[in-house]
Copies of this chain bind each other. A is one copy, B any other.
Amino acid sequence: MDVRLYELVLNQGRSVSPFVWRARMALAHKGLTPERIGIGYGGKHVIAFSGQDRVPVLVDGETAVSDSWRIACHLEETYPDRPSLFGGDGGRALARLVNHWCDSQQLSALFLLCTPATYALTPEADQPYFRQSRFDWTGMSIEQMAEAGSVKKLRAAIEPLRLTLRERDFLSGDAPAYADYCAFGGFMWARMTVGGLLDPADPVEAWRQRMLDLFGGLARAEPCAEAD
């Protein structure tokens, strides 16, 4: 079976997209090993076949799927006999809420912290695009973001994860599932660009280490900004 995943890959082979990491972990959860195709910010024409211009894009046989949430749903529906990403209808519904929490709270706290280092890893030819597009979103320059980023705010924002992970090993219960991959994606953006950002004594950090070990250390093995 032809399974391909299109990723954003920057200098030093850094796969920085939190959304791509959600998809990579979800594919591994379903026992799938995609052919990985890295593109830069200037490579959007490569994924034009998907009808939009953002990674991840999954090609699964004849089907192209973009958007990490739609990819997760595609995998759950296409491979129902493999381990579930959601654990039932209730889990699927609330995984979507967790997805939105990650997008609006976790990633926004990470944005100011990770964007300057992401810029530094961007090939020179794509830097003007990167700088302008981030300014258009936020009204801030890369240098202003570097000033404004706050590890303290990030650590406060992830209190719901901390309270949950004090009680058990994974957000989804005794074993990881899509909600874990969703939140983990954000921390992989940090790992690829600036490092772990968490206190070693934080239960969220212990969980992050468990996540790095999953699937034979799939995420741990990638070139990153963190020494461990």
Chain A residues packing against B (C-beta within 8 Å)? 84, 86-98, 100-101, 103-105, 159-161, 163-164, 167-168, 171-173, 177, 179
Contact = CB atoms under 8 A, between A and B. Distances in A.
A163 B100 contact: yes
Nearest to A84: B90
A179 B94 contact: yes
Given A88-B87, A101-B101, A93 B171 contact: yes
A100 to B, nearest CB: 4
Given A87-B88, A101-B101, 5 more contacts: A88-B90, A88-B91, A90-B94, A97-B171, A104-B159
Contact of A87 (B93, B173, B177): B93
Contacts of A179: 93-94, 97
Main secondary structure of the interface of A (DSSP, over half): helix
B96 A167 contact: yes
A69 to B, nearest CB: 10
A172 B91 CA distance: 9
B97 A86 contact: no
Contact of A173 (B90, B160, B164): B90
23 contacts: A87-B88, A87-B91, A88-B90, A88-B91, A89-B173, A90-B90, A90-B92, A90-B95, A91-B94, A93-B168, A93-B172, A93-B173, A94-B94, A94-B95, A94-B97, A94-B171, A94-B179, A96-B167, A97-B98, A97-B164, A104-B163, A105-B159, A105-B160
Contacts of A98: 94, 97-98
Contacts of A164: 96-97, 100
A159 to B, nearest CB: 4
Contacts of A105: 105, 159-160
